[in-house]
Amino acid sequence: MSLAVYEWRKLFLLPALWAFLGLSLLFNVFLICTLSEWDRAFFNETSADAALLGQRVDQTFLDGLAALPETENRTVLLQSVTGMEDSFETYDAGILKEFYTDVVKASPTAASWMAWKYDGLAKRVDHLARTDAGMDLYAGPVTQGSHQFLFGTLMRSILGEAAAAAMLGTLYLLSYEEIHRTESLACASRTGRRLRRIKVLSSLGASLLLLVLVAVPTLGLYFARFDYRGIWSASVSSQFNYLTDMLLTRPFLTWGDFTVAEYLAAALGLGAALTAAFSLLAALCGTLVRSPYLAALAVGILCFGGLGLTSALRNLKLWVGYVISCFQLPLVWINCGGWFTELGLNAVLPWQETIAAAGNLLLLGMGTALALDRFKRKDVLA
């Protein structure tokens, strides 16, 4: 444990790390400040009314809303919820099945995978109809915009910054002795050779702390400006929430039942796993490649090259390869605005983002363990 603390001191006493975190927070503040004041005022007033009247839009809710003092925002809200009916009772998931199987029809295998996924989604639509999830208010007309900003734009920024800091921090710790020209001395003993394992484990712990250092102040500022007190218990599958993919709009169909609070907790949990996986990716490259600059280049090629490969496979209509490539870490990160939903063309399995994060953690962990075992026998003077 004392060695791990020593490694953490090396990392967290690095001025460049705090400069990076500071710039990340400034960027996130900029993102939050780009939101319009009208949307914020409407959101906060709707949230306050929902806290008072409840989330489920029924006759009691409508009567209570009409009895509140009239404001411009309440008038808009009342107009939008009057006459609401559960959209899931009439929604046909077969529309999505037909659309996506037609997109990938050049590959019968990919088409069968898509058909299987959307057959399973039809059961979720029936469940949401039975539970009246679509009748939850959430944030009314500003639901989709606020949801995508928080769980798409802002969460993508938080996780990207934490992952970048985790990867750079991991490479820094692994190359610390080489940078200071003490690697040969450290590796002259068995304890020095085993130090790499401590560095990798320390990097994993540091990656989670880096996520906390980015997420807590960013989300703290966001929730200070946007009042969620009446929103937390709302279903994210409210009919006011939706996704658009390839110009096709669909409800926010999740594979499990989530309130806003539960969805935020699940997204942060998956984000922590994703950040740890990126740290392991850097650890694998940093262990296999001696030069820290070449290791950083290898990480960049794997991340950005993987995105380029996915784009090329899509353009060439090689759909089996495309859907398999969507299990890559960068693709999981990019799709964070639709986590725990069917993800359209970017997934062939229910809960694919969760499966992909867990699978990458397992494979990268095994790969890093094998690389560390190889390093124990490596001639660092060669």
| pLDDT tens-digit readout, 13-26 | 899 999 999 999 99
For residue 147, is pLDDT > 70? yes
What's the pLDDT at 373?
84
| DSSP structure string for 245-307 | ETTEEEE--BSS--BHHHHHHHHHHHHHHHHHHHHHHHHHHHHH-SSHHHHHHHHHHHHHHHH
pLDDT for residue 129 is more than 90? yes
Asked whether 68 and 59 are in contact (CB, 8 A), the reply is no
The full DSSP string for 172-216 is HHHTHHHHTT-HHHHTTSHHHHHHHHHHHHHHHHHHHHHHHHHHH
pLDDT for residue 375 is more than 80? no
- The angle subtended at Cα 201 by Cα 167 and Cα 289, nearest 5°, is 50
The pLDDT value recorded for residue 180 is: 57
Percent of the chain with pLDDT over 70: 93
DSSP one-letter code for 133: G
Element (H, E) at 244: strand 242-245
Q: Structural domain boundaries of the chain? A: 2-34+85-376
What is the pTM for the complete model shown?
A: 0.93
